[in-house]
Structure 1
Amino acid sequence: MSNETTNTAVPKLRFPEFREAGEWAYLNGNKLFDQITNKDHNSDLPILAITQEHGAIPRELIDYNVVVTEKSVESYKVVEIGDFIISLRSFQGGIEYSTYKGICSPAYIILRRKKDGTDDFFRHYLKTPAFIGDLNKNLEGMRDGKMVSYKQFSELLLPTPSLGSVDSGRSLAACYAAMN
């Protein structure tokens, strides 16, 4: 049985600039994001470290030394600017965002938005205590060292603002306020 819902939400109190912005839908993660497994590279892209503090960032920009063989790098996945990455500790700190193109270990799960639009809402929302709490509820029995799967992410209901509420120049902070 699917958790997917077509319920929408309009907050009782709204800032004046959001009164005509439309409803928010709650959609399963797999309706909003695809899992990406692109390994088509010739190992010339920077290797990215996936961190809670910096998101996905080239290893040489931080103090992160891990020795990898050329053979293992061949199996690394391509990360595009704007991709989201489920890291080993996503259940503690949310899902990471990349502002860099590079490659990362095949152990990570790369997510890419299915539709065009601003990534700002999800970039921030997927790091909020509310999202991390929902992630942990969905992961009963989660233990340190176990990664969140794409299937588990797919089952989460994510708030999705109408395009008018995000893309028409309104601030991200106001979008969060409109959620409540």
Structure 2
Amino acid sequence: AWELRRADEIFKTISDKGHPDLTVLSASQEHGMIPRNDVGVDIKYDKKNTANYKRVKPEQFVIHLRSFQGGFAWSEIEGITSPAYTVLDYKETGKYSFDFWKEVLTSPNFIKRLESVTYGIRDGRSISFSDFSTLKFSSPEIREQ
């Protein structure tokens, strides 16, 4: 049986700062989190500020500000990202499949559901973890995921 759970029962936020020597990552719709140098656009940032950037590890998710693209990116690599983004990890390791949640959080159905918990900003809509945390998800046991 699939269990109905709130997002905050599955995910927690991570704010692991102080890793300025790691690669700076950017959110990509098609490839998840990628090295900023691979984006193809010269995005300026002050290297002095990277100590405040958040570390992202493989199999974590990032809520970014482009909700019109879904607002969620996955990571298969380690690096750091803007402190404006929210890094998510599972509350319980070993209970969830990265590939399953990657599909769920980037699906057209989920992106449509986000409309109920986002608010407008200049070039898209912003998603907060507190609003995302109220959404409910059907989740099977890990072997079925």
For normalisation by structure 2, the TM-score amounts to 0.89
Cα displacement (A) at 1:79: 0.5
User: Which of 78, 81, 84 in structure 2 is aligned with 1:104?
Assistant: 81
**Aligned-CA RMSD value:** 1.6
Q: In structure 2, list runs of 5 or more residues that go unmatched.
A: none
Letter in 2 for 1:124: E
3-state SS, counterpart of residue 130 of structure 1: helix
Most deviating of 153-162 and 96-105: 153-162
Which of the pair has more CA radius of gyration? 1
TM alignment of 1:89-100, pairs within 5 A: 89-100=66-77
Q: Do the aligned residues in 2 keep the contact of 1:48 with 1:57 (CA within 8 Å)?
A: yes
User: Which of 26, 31, 39 in structure 2 is aligned with 1:49?
Assistant: 26
Residues 82 and 129 of structure 1, relative CA distance in 2, 3 Å threshold:
same
Q: How many residues align?
A: 142
Q: Do the aligned residues in 2 keep the contact of 1:91 with 1:135 (CA within 8 Å)?
A: no
3-state SS, counterpart of residue 16 of structure 2: coil
Q: Provide the C-alpha distance between the structure 2 equivalents of 1:160 and 1:89, rounded to a whole number of angstroms.
A: 26
TM alignment of 1:1-180, pairs within 5 A: 23-41=1-19, 43-115=20-92, 116=94, 117-139=96-118, 142-143=120-121, 144-166=123-145
Cα displacement (A) at 1:133: 1.4
3-state SS, counterpart of residue 143 of structure 2: helix
Cα displacement (A) at 1:151: 0.2
Identical-pair percentage: 36
Cα displacement (A) at 1:69: 1.6
Q: Provide the C-alpha distance between the structure 2 equivalents of 1:92 and 1:101, rounded to a whole number of angstroms.
A: 22
Q: In structure 1, list runs of 5 or more residues that go unmatched.
A: 1-22, 167-180
For normalisation by structure 1, the TM-score amounts to 0.73
Q: Do the aligned residues in 2 keep the contact of 1:84 with 1:95 (CA within 8 Å)?
A: yes
